[in-house]
Amino acid sequence: MADKRQKPDFEPTVENRKARRDYLVLETLETGIVLRGTEIKSVRQAHVALGEAFVEVSKRGELWLVNARIDEYFQAGSYFNHAPGSKRKLLAHRHEIAKLQRAVEQKGMALVPLKLYFVRGRAKILVGLCKGKKMADKRQTLIDREHQRDVDRLSKARGMRI
């Protein structure tokens, strides 16, 4: 007997584009996220903003997602809805959290959420251990990207690959 509920054609993916621009990603870690009913429904509709978000390690050794905005689920009404800007707990193994905590204690290192996506129906967050880019690094990235675009354009015009 077939499942009567319709499954979406794709699972939404939300990316933090600012993170790749402003930080150099040294290492990544896939973590789970604790969400309530209206939060997960809103995430499935991709009503999430990760631009200003960051991850902190608490004194108790827990990972928390801070400043991530998950919009209210408008069909739930006002009583059952969640707070859009609240902190949310991330799930990872204790040894992984300890490793990240040691790395963050170094100067210039930060934990930044890179992507929110679904794996087998569960919401996951890709957390990056990042180091801030200087202005010269950002300029060099732009120059490299523009140069690669020119090379691709020329090779396409000539009908060959380099």
Confidence of residue 38 (pLDDT cuts 50, 70, 90): confident
Q: Write the pLDDT tens digit of every residue in 56-92.
A: 998 898 999 999 888 777 666 666 666 666 788 999 9
At 133 the pLDDT is 82
Please give the residue range of the domain that contains residue 65: 14-133
Looking at the predicted structure, is the pLDDT value of residue 100 above 70? yes
Q: Is residue 151 part of a domain?
A: no
CATH code, domain carrying 40: 2.40.280.10
At 1 the pLDDT is 46
Using CA atoms, how far apart are residues 75 and 162, in angstroms rounded to an integer?
A: 53
Tell me the average pLDDT of the chain: 83
Element (H, E) at 140: helix 135-158
Q: Is residue 39 part of a domain?
A: yes
Looking at the predicted structure, is the pLDDT value of residue 7 above 80? no
Using CA atoms, how far apart are residues 132 and 110, in angstroms rounded to an integer?
A: 8
Looking at the predicted structure, is the pLDDT value of residue 34 above 70? yes
Q: Is residue 3 part of a domain?
A: no
Closest CA to 55 of 15, 106, 114: 114
Domains contained in the chain, number: 1
Closest CA to 53 of 122, 124, 128, 104: 128
Whole-structure pTM over 0.85, yes or no? no
Q: Is residue 68 part of a domain?
A: yes
Q: Is residue 44 part of a domain?
A: yes
Q: Write the pLDDT tens digit of every residue in 129-159.
A: 998 888 888 888 889 889 999 998 888 877 7
Query: What is the separation, in whole angstroms, between the first and last Cα of the chain?
Result: 53
Closest CA to 24 of 109, 122, 115, 148: 109
